[in-house]
Amino acid sequence: MRPSLPIGSICSVRKSRSGKYRDTPNASRRNERLDKISREEVLEAVKAARAAGVQGLTAETGTLVKLPISSDWVAYLVDEEYDATDIASLTAAEISGRERAWCYLEAIRRIAGCEKAFIASTGPVIGTRESRHINAHYQLKQEDVLNGAKFDDVIALGAWAVEYHARAGAGSIWRSIKDNQTFDIPLRSLQCVDTPNLFAAGRTIDGDQYAGSSVRVMGTAFATGHAAGVAAANFCRTKSIDTRAVQNELVKQGALIP
Ligand SMILES: Cc1cc2nc3c(=O)[nH]c(=O)nc-3n(C[C@H](O)[C@H](O)[C@H](O)COP(=O)(O)OP(=O)(O)OC[C@H]3O[C@@H](n4cnc5c(N)ncnc54)[C@H](O)[C@@H]3O)c2cc1C
């Protein structure tokens, strides 16, 4: 296994309601003022709070999404740099992330009409975008993603751009796939190089950090998970890997491969 520096985010601070909350269905928690707040207004408030000396506001940008029906917001603002292979580092990041969620709440409460905003929930654990990858027969490269590479042993398609989060507090690096096409993910990137009956799936398949930042997304993770299962079943029967049989079985089961 090859460790790599992961960048993770704790999700999510929610901004909500202004004092009218009762434990009733979401629709009755609508608040006109909160419905009209824009993402820019929240980010401006973060900037202003930072300038005013509120601590812990390292990121001035992030994903902010207003949820339908209620006046709740989901905010991906707090991110941490840590080593997910080191439990002490992981724990420190989780503690820091939870503390900083309260700093962002303080910034949000400075927006007129949001004085009584509160955190409705945060993620149960810190979310890690990237950590270990398996050492497989082929390491998927960033160029494969960007050039829409084709492989004879394709078992899944990737369609997400390179979305690399380089460090905490910085925006992500986006690099699109050529002509907005797909790229092939080869079976060789799933099969462990020295343990032939071990197949990786999701974000653990073999890829460099940039390729990893594309294949980790959920749709692609479902596809490689499907392929890993079919390949493992094939290996159990034959004690070797028959690529064509794995591909045929995947197609039979409805997988999208060329
Ligand atoms: C902040 C953040 C935002 C993201 N946003 C998006 C997004 O908008 N869209 C998107 O598509 N993707 C997004 N992702 C990426 C995506 O969520 C993950 O990369 C993806 O879920 C990884 O899937 P996986 O199957 O590889 O791993 P996981 O979903 O982590 O699944 C691994 C599973 O294995 C279990 N497990 C671990 N150890 C053991 C063990 N020893 N025994 C048994 N079970 C075990 C875990 O409990 C877990 O359920 C985001 C990730 C982060 C961190």
Q: Which of 126, 131, 127, 155 is nearest to 209 (CA)?
A: 131
Q: Which residues contact 120 (CB under 8 A, 6 or more apart)?
A: 14, 16, 72
Tens-place pLDDT, residues 14-29: 333 333 433 444 555 5
46 phi and psi, to 5 degrees? -65, -45
CA distance 40 to 49: 14
Tens of pLDDT, residue by residue over 74-103, are 888 888 999 999 999 999 999 999 999 999
- If asked whether residues 80 and 26 sit together in one domain, one would say yes
Domain holding 70, by residue range, is 7-128
User: What pLDDT is stored for residue 246 in this prediction?
Assistant: 98
Pair type for strands 154-158 and 73-76: unpaired
- Is residue 124 domain-shared with residue 146, that is, in the same domain? no
Tokens of 159: 């369609």
Report pLDDT for 256. 95
Is residue 14 located within the same domain as residue 123?
yes
**Based on the domain organization, do 155 and 239 belong to the same domain?**
yes
How many structural domains are present in the chain? 2
Q: How close is the Cα of 114 to the center of ligand 1, in Å?
A: 33
**Statement to judge: residues 80 and 45 lie in one domain:** yes
Distance (Å, whole) CA 11 – CA 42: 16
**Residue having the nearest C-alpha atom to atom 51 of ligand 1:** 129
pLDDT digits (tens, 9 = 90+) for 204-234: 999 999 999 999 999 999 999 999 999 999 9
**Residue 257 falls within a domain, yes or no?**
no
127 CA closest ligand 1 atom index? 53
Residue 6 clears pLDDT 90, i.e. is over it: no
Average pLDDT over residues 47-70: 88
Query: Based on the domain organization, do 19 and 73 belong to the same domain?
Result: yes
Of 95, 128, 161, which marks where a domain is finished?
128
User: Given pLDDT bands bounded at 50, 70 and 90, which one contains residue 3?
Assistant: very low
- Sheet containing strand 79-81, edge to edge, reads 79-81, 7-9, 127-128
**How remote is the CA of residue 217 from the centroid of ligand 1, in Å?**
9
Q: Does ligand 1 come within 6 angstroms of the Cβ of 221? A: yes
Closest-CA residue to 127 (of 82, 193, 183)? 82
Q: What is the pLDDT of residue 193?
A: 97
Specify whether 44 is located in the same domain as 120: yes
Identify the top-confidence range among 57-71, 111-125, 207-221: 207-221
Q: Are residues 105 and 146 in the same domain?
A: no
pLDDT higher at 165 or 6: 165
Give me the pLDDT at residue 28, please: 52
Task: Retrieve residue 105's tokens.
Answer: 């709440």
Q: Which of 125, 128, 129, 215 to mutate to test the pocket of ligand 1 (most atoms within 8 A of CB)?
A: 129
Residue 78 sits in the same domain as residue 177: no
Pocket mutation for ligand 1, best pick of 203, 205, 213, 215 (most atoms within 8 Å of C-beta): 203
Q: Is residue 134 part of a domain?
A: no
- Nearest CA owner, ligand 1 atom 10: 217
Going by alpha carbons, the residue nearest to atom 31 of ligand 1 is 202
Specify if 2 maps to a domain. no
Q: What average pLDDT score do residues 252-258 get?
A: 96
How much is the pTM?
0.84
Percent of the chain with pLDDT over 90: 62
Q: Is 228 in the pocket of ligand 1 (CB under 6 A)?
A: no
The two three-digit tokens of residue 29, written as one number: 């928690």
36, part of any domain: yes
- The predicted pLDDT at position 77 comes to 86
The pLDDT value recorded for residue 24 is: 41
Beta strand spans in 97-182 (E): 127-128, 154-158, 162-164, 173-175
173 or 19, greater pLDDT: 173
Provide the pLDDT confidence category of residue 158 given band limits of 50, 70 and 90. very high
Task: Kindly state whether residue 133 falls inside one of the protein's structural domains.
Answer: no
Q: Whose CA is nearest to atom 24 of ligand 1?
A: 202
**Angle separating helix axes 87-109 and 39-51, nearest 10 degrees:** 100
Pocket lining: 29 vs ligand 1, CB cutoff 6 Å:
no
